[in-house]
Amino acid sequence: MAVRRQPTLRDVAAAAGVAVSTASRALTRPGRVNAGTADRVVAVAKELGYIPSASARALLSGRTATVALVLPDVTNPFFFGLVRGTGARLRESGYVQVLADTEESAEVELDTLRKLRGQVDGAVLAASRLTDDQIAVAAEDLALVVVNRTIPGTPGVLLDTAGGMVQALEHLVEQGHTRVAYAAGPTTSWSDRRRREALEPAAARLGVELVVLGPYAPVRTSGADAADAALDAGVTAIVAFNDLLAFGILERLDARGVAVPEGLSVVGCDDIFGSDLVRPALTTIESPVERAGRMAADLLLTRLDGERPAGGDDEDDDGLVVDLPVPGAPVLLPTRLIVRGSTGSAQV
Amino acid sequence: MAVRRQPTLRDVAAAAGVAVSTASRALTRPGRVNAGTADRVVAVAKELGYIPSASARALLSGRTATVALVLPDVTNPFFFGLVRGTGARLRESGYVQVLADTEESAEVELDTLRKLRGQVDGAVLAASRLTDDQIAVAAEDLALVVVNRTIPGTPGVLLDTAGGMVQALEHLVEQGHTRVAYAAGPTTSWSDRRRREALEPAAARLGVELVVLGPYAPVRTSGADAADAALDAGVTAIVAFNDLLAFGILERLDARGVAVPEGLSVVGCDDIFGSDLVRPALTTIESPVERAGRMAADLLLTRLDGERPAGGDDEDDDGLVVDLPVPGAPVLLPTRLIVRGSTGSAQV
DNA sequence: GTGAAAGCGCTAACAC
DNA sequence: GTGTTAGCGCTTTCAC
């Protein structure tokens, strides 16, 4: 693991017998240099194993070709798709992906965002624990795209799981259910609020009684409480905040000897890895998470590559600088109900 | 998403009425500056929201406080633990984690490593697709720690899944199995070779017949072929290269109406998310992947923070520079067999 | 204890 | 078409 000194542009220029500026041009804009010279420089650079210093470029241009994905918990399988989607899109454009875990803490998130400023060109902020205001403020210092959040003036991508849950409710009604529980997620969750706001009017419209249970931490272990509460509440079906919670519910029902779907129909949300592995397989709401990630990265890159076309730098001293046209509404991605074995007719 | 101009050290110095050098000292080494002055500078810096430029620091020191995790496929749940483990350890030391997906391609991996040089202080290389030589060469230009690989001179962390598989074999023998299949992984996999080399002598020692099936791509869909082959081979138990493959095997057996473990005992490997969710739950080999990641990051950081104690920079012009004492053997982490429902007595 | 100045590697004026 | 020069933001001599 010895470390060899990297050749610099100066080394290349010297070896090729040209000035650094010529070497620089030859490597970045070959058109503006004598073809023969350019070839020679390129050859020498290759031979020496020259790699331009990212730090020097960054210092000069203010651009790092790096984008961060900020999320509350890398552990949560739901976010894996986001990692993949953003990563794939970023790689396509030659960007480097940085991963930041905020450990479900608003404080850590704020601090992370602060430190990221200057280190990255922008960030995709997923399931943020911050307030709208805090995000808006952070967006002043760092190009931001939010996922599952609406912040006026900040581009965003929304997964319409609320819509998916309404589909689930309709499905249950068709199956004859008239009293359905919703096992709620954390009160701090923006998505949870959105879902409740969608479920309540839908329930009224469909003439079904909706019982809200919880809130529950969106993890498997909370499933036991949720299952018990559902049984106590005398519902025939339960829609869970997410699949992890639904897995826990299934486990508990199994342990208590309650058959699914005969004793209780169960619906999850997100279609994470494993939802088709459990028995009975879980009826759930498929979210195009990976696509959302790709989209978020795309929005950010569009922003970034429009922003400073070529290292522009204003010398205005009034502090404030660029103000860009902001895309109106966030992108809303539809979700889809996947019916599997965990839901069935209501037992009268 | 406007972007405000960041205050620089010069701004801070000016506002505090001191020279940049003093401001720099006040912020980095408060001891070497008049207490009052230092306080003032710090206060001003805070007020202005000053954040030191990472690029400038990197340019000057050659250190980026960034480490990359390079892996063949972010999609594979097996690597999630690695992402977590390395990420957690890096964060603890204030390092930033960069994620690089090489898409299972040696070429992409080589290119990634090349580009990473200079962008990061080091990298954790997991399940590399490169040859030993290629890795050794890459290690000359970038501080590297390998996971599940032994490269002389390069620190590494090994998960002893081969040992776990021997445990599995012993367990099966105790249950009366005398003819057992191993569903092999990709031929390019270093781990697969290691496991075979451990299983064969173990089988001989235990007096059990070992049938090697495959190779199979380590994904769920390959499970169908593996299950069929096992049934054809007339074995009573099968050990799969990994859990994904085992899941596929279970699905196929279910589809063919073969009971598990009565008709066939199934063992997976890695204990990934979902292995206790399937029915019957999967007997598998638990690997401390997260711990391995943490360890790998730890080895790297130790290396890094010993390497250039404080931005040292040699002016030797002979090209070659540092050569460090290399830790001898790689760290070997033990694995453990977890017996669940998918294995049982051999049906005579 | 503090300031002035050099320089990390690179690109973008500005000469010639 | 090519060389010279300035300067990105910072740390670190070297004077004072």
* pLDDT at res. A230: 98
**Residues B204, A91: Cα–Cα separation, whole Å:** 48
A124 near A297, Cβ under 8 Å? yes
Res. A271: pLDDT tops 50? yes
The answer to whether A2 CB sits below 7 Å from nucleic acid chain C is no
Q: What is the pLDDT of residues B171-181, one digit of tens each?
A: 999 999 999 99
Q: Distance between alpha carbon A261 and the CA centroid of its chain, in Å?
A: 32
- CB count, 10 Å around CB of B99? 24
Question: How far apart are the CA of A284 and the nearest CA of chain B, in angstroms?
Answer: 16
Only one residue has tokens 């957690």, namely B88
Residues of A in Cβ contact (< 8 Å) with B271: none
Domain with CATH 3.40.50.2300 in chain B: 66-159+289-333, 161-287
CA B25 – C1' D6 distance (Å)?
Answer: 26
Closest to A104 in 3D by CA, of A73, A133, A63, A62: A73
Helices A54-61 and B54-61: crossing angle, nearest 10°? 140
Residues by CB within 7 A of strand D: list them. A 17-22, 25, 32-34, 36-38, 56, 59-60; B 6, 8-10, 20-21, 24-25, 27-28, 50-53, 56-57, 59-61, 310-311
CA B127 – C1' C10 distance (Å)?
Answer: 35
Mean pLDDT across A22-39: 90
* Bigger pLDDT: B324 vs A151: A151
Q: What is the pLDDT of residues A172-221, one digit of tens each?
A: 999 999 999 999 999 888 899 999 999 999 999 999 999 999 999 999 99
Residues of A in Cβ contact (< 8 Å) with B152: none
Q: Which CATH class is domain A9-61?
A: mainly alpha
Question: How far apart are the CA of A34 and the nearest CA of chain B, in angstroms?
Answer: 27
Q: Which CATH class is domain A66-159+289-333?
A: alpha beta
Phi-psi region of B214 (alpha: psi -120 to 50; beta: other; left: phi over 0): left
- Kindly list the distances between the CA atom of residue A84 and the CA atoms of A74, A112, A330, B75, B220, in Å, as whole numbers in the listed order: 12, 21, 21, 7, 19
Phi-psi region of B62 (alpha: psi -120 to 50; beta: other; left: phi over 0): left
Closest to A202 in 3D by CA, of A213, A210, A212, A194: A210
**Residues A97, B68: Cα–Cα separation, whole Å:** 10
Percentage of residues in chain B with pLDDT exceeding 90? 77
- Helix, coil or strand: residue A283: strand
**Residues B238, B214: Cα–Cα separation, whole Å:** 12
* pLDDT at res. B283: 98
Nearest CA in chain B to A246: B277
Find all residues with CB under 8 Å of B316, minimum gap 6, and list them: none
* pLDDT at res. A315: 35
Domain with CATH 1.10.260 in chain B: 9-61
The domain defined by B161-287 folds into: Rossmann fold (3.40.50)
Residues in chain B: 348
Only one residue has tokens 């009293």, namely A179
Mean pLDDT across B17-41: 92
Q: Residue A103 — pLDDT band, cuts 50, 70, 90?
A: confident
The answer to whether B21 CB sits below 7 Å from nucleic acid chain C is yes
Q: What is the pLDDT of residues B207-217, one digit of tens each?
A: 999 999 999 99
Mark yes or no for CB contact A153/B320 under 8 Å: no
Question: How far apart are the CA of A347 and the nearest CA of chain B, in angstroms?
Answer: 25
Mean pLDDT across B115-144: 92
Q: What is the pLDDT of residues B321-345, one digit of tens each?
A: 344 444 567 899 999 999 999 999 9
- Pairing type for strands B336-338 and B284-286 reads antiparallel
Highest mean pLDDT (candidates A312-321, B30-39, B210-219): B210-219
Query: Which bases of chain C are contacted by protein, using any atom under 7 A from a CB?
Result: 1-5, 7-13
Helices A243-256 and A223-233: crossing angle, nearest 10°? 60
